[in-house]
Structure 1
Amino acid sequence: MKRNTNLAVTLLLLLEQVEDAEGLARHQLKESLGQSKHASSMTSEELWDVLDYHLRLLQSAGFVTITQSFEGVAHDDVELTWSGHDYLDVNRPSESFNVNVKWP
């Protein structure tokens, strides 16, 4: 699978918008990503694969933390780290790169 920098930045921007101190559950990120242009031609299974791959990349880069849930992988909490915020501060996309997702 190839890394998609725009998708990775979209995930970081989604996490930045969250007001809950515990971040977002993985299934909430999947739902939000499913509303974006990145998922237009993906099946649900493909979307899970792409999401999980990019979350692992972001975690290995130190941009997100993933806290395991006893309820299963889909409920793992994902949150932005200090380094993730720093990355967005330096590499924030232009205004035309917009993430308009309504949280449930």
Structure 2
Amino acid sequence: MTGPRTPSEDSVTEVVRWAAFSCVLVPIVLLWYGTSFAGAAGTALGLAAVTAACRLLLRQSERGAVRERDMERAGPSPRRRGRHHRTGTGAHRGGRHTGRITPGG
């Protein structure tokens, strides 16, 4: 990625760095306190998998937020106004309804 980083990118990078540090530190501490090597290795793999999944979700969320912000800046597209932004007048716009037969007359 080129260009300056946004604060959200910096915070995501920082979270991932701390998680990677934990993936290394936790197994070392477990070994220090007498856990088996297999147990420490399993813990390290589990932490690495969780870290990778969280990183993926954070990046995906970040891309979605950037897309949303870009769409807000561009304004509404004439083709994608949504149901509450129709043009014209009519029964749904609160206009008068003439020529209708009502039960009272």
Tell me the TM-score range normalised by the shorter chain. under 0.3
Q: Specify which structure has the higher proportion of strand.
A: 1
Q: Specify which structure has the higher proportion of helix.
A: 2
Q: Which has the higher contact order (CA 8 A, sep 6+)?
A: 1
TM-score, normalised relative to structure 2: 0.25
Q: Rg: which structure is higher?
A: 2
TM-score, normalised relative to structure 1: 0.25
